[in-house]
Structure 1
Amino acid sequence: MPVTATVKAVVFDIGNVLIEWQPERFYDAQVGEARRRDMFAALDLHGMNDGVDRGETFIDAVTDFAAANAKYHAEIMMWHDNWADMASPSIPHSVRLLHALRADGVPCFALSNFGIQTFEIAEERYPFLKDFDRRYISGHMGVIKPDAEIYQMLEDDCGTEPKGLLFTDDRIDNIRAADARGWQTHLFDGPAAFAARLVAEGLLTQEQAQ
């Protein structure tokens, strides 16, 4: 099926779109919900991870943060030592949508907040992360969503006008930043609704979107 006149390429976030990313759920299973709540209330673990996503060395960022917060040293080190278990499992229907789009000749890009080393770990576990036409990974770019610069960098490189991009992401702040640039957007809340959007755009048939 040819790409429609309006959508020229589909842009995927990765975390919670193609791979589940729920650190709180991981810690609940490892240390219990009460200690996890205390730790996340006391420490900005997601802020630590933002540094990794901007290009900081993974082991150094986590080790330094753990050293500065001795009360939770063991738990913080799990962020590094058990990262692959936090970033799991994959979301199979989303992966099928990616492959269906590619098989039908629709260009697909990844735009994701991901560290350099963590993305290498993810690629090893999830080979489908290599199946994009182009990948825009924040750790290599030195900037993270929703900063306007990362969207500009994709626009400058991909050869598609903003209005021709359909972007899906699970975070509303990232979606709003894309909206502001004239991208078409879909707030991801599960693969079924995104599949329906792709069918509505004429990018896939109902059968292809299953």
Structure 2
Amino acid sequence: MPKPQAVVFDIGNVLIEWQPERHYDAIVGEARRKEMFAAVDLHAMNDRVDLGENFHDTVMDCAKAYPEFAEDIRRWHDDWLHMASPAIPHSVALLRALRKAGVPVFALSNFGVETFALAEVEYPFLQEFDRRYISGHMRLAKPGPEIYAALEADSGVAPEALLFADDRADNIAAAKARGWQTHLFTGPQGWARALVETGLLTDAEAGL
């Protein structure tokens, strides 16, 4: 494979932990959380936000539809920053090391319009990408091929020259099918090693 010309980061669980279940377990207890998640497809609700539906309205409509869980569903809106936390410091350092080395760095993330605006304030490093491809603004989402094609067309980088890190196997498979170089993210150490192996960073630059 050619040396990558640009690196593409997912955000959730790559740069910022995204663990709604963990937050609910801490607030309402595991039993209540399991009951609610079995009755209400909250991740499907969030997928609608990621495709550009209004964050507040989508969550509140869902809460109205399930009055027995209404208070806890509203937490998805009110506690969102607690679910999307903390940042993953080593991954942030890798983003900055790549930029310092002159490697273009893009974001490709399923994220709502309003939730991304919240995240940008909480996590200023999200403003450091050279280009950002955010599903809510594009009305396209991974793993649909259209969002990958849009990144290729806009960036002008050939598929085989893109190196993409994501924590979801389906998103990785979709990128790989287009010829992208990929890394299934399971932790920043493995991602750091991948960046060294592709010749983009030295061990020292990668924090290894």
Task: Judge same fold: TM > 0.5, yes or no.
Answer: yes
One-letter identity of the residue aligned with 2:87: S
1:72 paired with 2:77, answer no
Shift of 1:5: 4.5
Displacement of 1:143 = 1.2
Tell me what 2:105 maps to.
Answer: 108
Residue from 23, 35, 47 that aligns with 1:50: 47
Tell me the distance in 1 between the aligned counterparts of 2:91 and 2:30.
Answer: 29
Deviation at 1:6, TM superposition (A): 2.3
Q: Which residue of 2 aligns with 1:6?
A: 3
- The partner residue of 2:152 within 152, 155, 159 is 155
- Which structure 2 segments of 5+ residues have no match? none
Distance 1:53 1:194 in 2: 25
Aligned partners of 1:172, 1:31: CA distance in 2, in Å?
30
Runs of 4+ residues deviating >6 angstroms: none
Q: Which residue does 1:96 correspond to in 2? A: 93
1:125 lines up with 2:122 in the alignment: yes
Three-state SS of the structure 1 residue aligned to 2:143 is: coil
SS at 1:110 equivalent: strand
CA distance in 2, matches of 1:149, 1:66: 31
Supply the RMSD in Å over aligned alpha carbons.
0.8
Task: Name the TM-score, length of structure 1 as normaliser.
Answer: 0.98
**Sequence identity percentage:** 64
In the TM superposition, 1:82-93 aligns within 5 A as 82-93=79-90
Counterpart of 2:18, as a letter, is: W
Q: Matched residues in 1 for 2:2 and 2:171: separation?
A: 25
Q: Please state if 1:201 is matched with 2:198.
A: yes
Q: TM-score, structure 2 length as denominator?
A: 0.98
Number of corresponding residues: 207
Corresponding residue SS for 1:55: coil
Which letter does structure 1 place at the counterpart of 2:60? Answer: T
1:13-28 aligned at under 5 Å gives the runs 13-28=10-25
List runs of 5+ in structure 1 lacking aligned partners: none
Distance in 2 (alpha carbons) for counterparts of 1:5 and 1:163 = 7
1:158-177 equivalences in 2 (<5 Å): 158-177=155-174
For the residue of structure 2 that corresponds to 1:176, the secondary structure is helix
Match of 1:120, SS state, is helix
